[in-house]
Amino acid sequence: MSTQPRQIRLIMELRADGITDPNVLGAIERVPREKFVPPQFQDRAYENTALPIGDGQTISQPYIVALMTQALELSSRDRVLEIGTGCGYQAAVLSRLCRRVYTIERHRSLARAAQKLLASLDYTNITTKIGDGSKGWPEQAPFDKIIATAAAQNDVPAELFEQLADGGVLVAPIGASVLDQYLWRFRKRGEKIEEERLCAVRFVPLVRD
Ligand code: SAH
């Protein structure tokens, strides 16, 4: 697939906005976002905006996908857990930079569509599951990295920290209202968790079943 001018424009915009990791920019460039957005939004697939994907959910803005991916400091050996598959776009970006992505979505219809799409695009290192991701995926733990793409009200569920490997990084939005929501990065160091607030964000809520 050749890179289109609108894709190049998006990459330049991301770089100007502080996405400096060439691997992250490369992954964004290679994942065909137009395949992940509904047909009526095809022409806006490479705009730097979030778009609706059905069931009241959204595909994240490319800048936020890039920022969260960069914040995870991925290595090609990493096993990554994602909470909130949505349309599968973030999972596809992650999968190009790590060993395997485990991704959980609570909306059955979204999960099924994402699974089908990812298989059709040959993303063979992504495992999907339908369910409540706030409980993590104990059978596959520990994870080197964990990313939540839905916002926890007050705290990241304790299960997710339990399933994070020592030295691992967890990136998640936290905040009860979209007007007061921030992206956080946590690093597990033995018994200690280091925390760092990255920026203001707007995510749909993490719903616990
Ligand atoms: N990463 C997605 C964007 C996801 S939007 C992408 O690239 O398109 C957030 C998603 O989190 C929604 O699809 C929502 O249904 C899902 N979600 C919310 N709470 C959840 C939970 N407890 N477990 C799993 N998925 C959840």
Question: pLDDT per residue over 148-163, tens digit each?
Answer: 999 999 999 999 999 9
**Is residue 60 annotated as a catalytic residue, yes or no?**
yes
* C-alpha of residue 80 to centroid of ligand 1, in Å: 15
SS3 64: helix
Helices (H), the chain: 5-16, 22-30, 62-71, 89-95, 108-120, 158-162
Tell me the pLDDT of the chain averaged across its residues: 96
List the domains of the chain with CATH numbers. Answer: 5-200 (3.40.50.150)
* C-alpha of residue 2 to centroid of ligand 1, in Å: 30
Ligand 1 site, residue 134, Cβ cutoff 6 A = yes
Say how far apart CA 142 and CA 163 lie, in whole Å: 5
pLDDT, mean of residues 47-60:
92
Phi-psi region of 101 (alpha: psi -120 to 50; beta: other; left: phi over 0): beta
Which of 61, 50, 48, 65 is closest to 6 using CA atoms? Answer: 48
The reported pLDDT for the residue numbered 55 is 85
Q: Residue 2: pLDDT above 70?
A: no
156: phi then psi, degrees, rounded to nearest 5: -70, 135
Are 171 and 68 in contact by the 8 Å Cβ rule? The answer is yes
Ligand 1 site, residue 109, Cβ cutoff 6 A = no
**DSSP label at 81?**
E
Q: What is the largest CA-CA distance in the chain?
A: 48
Say how far apart CA 87 and CA 113 lie, in whole Å: 7
* C-alpha of residue 83 to centroid of ligand 1, in Å: 6
Say how far apart CA 162 and CA 164 lie, in whole Å: 6
Nearest-CA residue for atom 17 of ligand 1: 84
The reported pLDDT for the residue numbered 36 is 97
113-138 pLDDT per residue, tens: 999 999 999 999 999 999 999 999 99
Mutate to test the pocket of ligand 1, among 63, 68, 90, 106 (most ligand atoms within 8 A of CB): 106
Q: Residue 192: pLDDT above 80?
A: yes
Say how far apart CA 69 and CA 143 lie, in whole Å: 15
Catalytic annotation, pick one of 60, 75, 95, 177:
60
Please, which residues bridge with residue 90 across strands? none
* Residue 199 host element (H or E): strand 192-200
Say how far apart CA 45 and CA 140 lie, in whole Å: 33
